[in-house]
Amino acid sequence: MSVIDRFLKYVKVDTQSDELTNLTPSTPGQMLFAEKLVKELITIGLTDAEVDNNGYVMATLPANTDKVLPTIGFIAHMDTSPDMSGHNVQPRIVEKYDGKDIVLCQEENIILKTEDFPEILGYVGDDIIVTNGKTLLGADDKAGIAEIMSAMEFLIANPEIKHGKIRVAFTPDEEIGQGADHFDVKKFGADFAYTMDGSDQGIIEFENFNAALAKVSFKGRNVHPGYAKHKMVNALRVANQYAIMLPRWETPEHTEGYEGFYHLVGCEGSVENTTLTYIIRDHDRDRFERRKKEFSHLVNKINKEFPGCASLEIRDQYYNMREMIEPVMHIIDLAKEAISNCGMEPKVEPIRGGTDGARLSFMGLPCPNLSAGGMNFHGRFEYISIQAMQNAVNVIVEIAKLVANK
């Protein structure tokens, strides 16, 4: 089966994750998908293929050489983002893309415009898979799964290509930050691994945000508004006062590259009780710690004006994997060489987000991120080039070859 046929089949399975269920996997569609993947892994010839009670799929491609080689891992996640529906995905192939705007849904006037998404012009001439404008596509990260599966099938079908032991894993709930929660690094048994979860082809990512989640709660005092002077404390207004005290320009819509930010992602409230939910992000660990202290400083400032009104709950989510990758930079050099050998230019870029690989690196499995080829993740304008997917398959195979030859 080709990588494209696999991908088109996989995106039809609804695996949208849900952080509110407190289950692992968080949704039944992920376990259903995991069971199907195990059957496929067995069919193409991998050994030890299994899914555990938490929905983690693992399998082995045994070595076909007597050389003593490191065990490589390749990892992708099964869930799609809760930001947009992944139900009834209807992919469409735009053959030999001509560089013009793509109409996704005529009746609702949903158009993938080059003016809004100029990166698509880098794929002129390619065959592009798009949505019907009503769901996300699911290239994040079903493209990665399809690519890993196809690369393993290719290596099995071509035994003259020598390789060491390769482990593959497909994980649940990456999109809600829980993809590594129950990952058994010891059982996986790889010396290093790559997540196939990046976007534009040729990209290598081994720097990501340090990340924290902050909830700032405000307790007000409700009094009849006609008689509220010097009595009412409106939690909604105090929360708004807190929000505007944070730097206006240090938000996602005003930052790029290595610049960190504060991002208000939720607000629930009334006059009596209001809660603001933020994510805090920065590549630099010192600046990250200062950002967290700023939240505490502003809570104290609010409480001086409104005693006992504000409280803060803050927890770290993940850290920049760079410090765990720097001692093993040969795995980055290996990826660069593989990408070059496959006719692309390697591009090392920081992730303005996080991946399972970040947490896995701190759990003892160095795990940078490589391109899976998808673009515009998490929304109706998501797309992927068929040629980019095949290039990702080639990179996986090339990494296996290089490890054996070196």
What is the C-alpha to C-alpha distance for residues 358 and 322, in angstroms, rounded to an integer? 8
What's the average model confidence in pLDDT over 387-392? 98
Q: Are 7 and 143 in contact (CB under 8 A)?
A: yes
The pTM of the full predicted model, rounded to 2 decimals, is 0.89
What's the average model confidence in pLDDT over 282-303? 97
The pLDDT tens digits for 2-59 are 999 999 999 999 999 998 999 999 999 999 999 999 999 999 999 999 999 999 999 9
The pLDDT tens digits for 161-194 are 999 999 999 999 999 989 999 999 999 999 999 9
DSSP 287-315: HHHHHHHHHHHHHHHHHHHSTT-EEEEEE
Mean of all residue pLDDT scores within the chain: 96
pLDDT at 315 over 90: yes
What's the average model confidence in pLDDT over 268-272? 97
Strands 128-130 and 47-51: unpaired
Q: In what order do the strands lie in the sheet with 347-348?
A: 47-51, 57-61, 166-171, 72-77, 192-198, 369-371, 203-205, 347-348
Our answer to whether residue 79 is catalytic in this structure is: yes
Instruction: Please report the pLDDT score of residue 353 as a whole number.
Output: 82
The domains found in the chain, sorted by start residue, are: 3-207+320-405 (3.40.630.10), 210-318 (3.30.70.360)
Which of the following is catalytic: 14, 40, 126, 174? 174
Q: Where are the alpha helices (DSSP H) in 105-234?
A: 139-157, 185-188
Which tokens sit at 68? 């003593």
What's the average model confidence in pLDDT over 145-171? 98
Instruction: Please report the pLDDT score of residue 354 as a whole number.
Output: 79
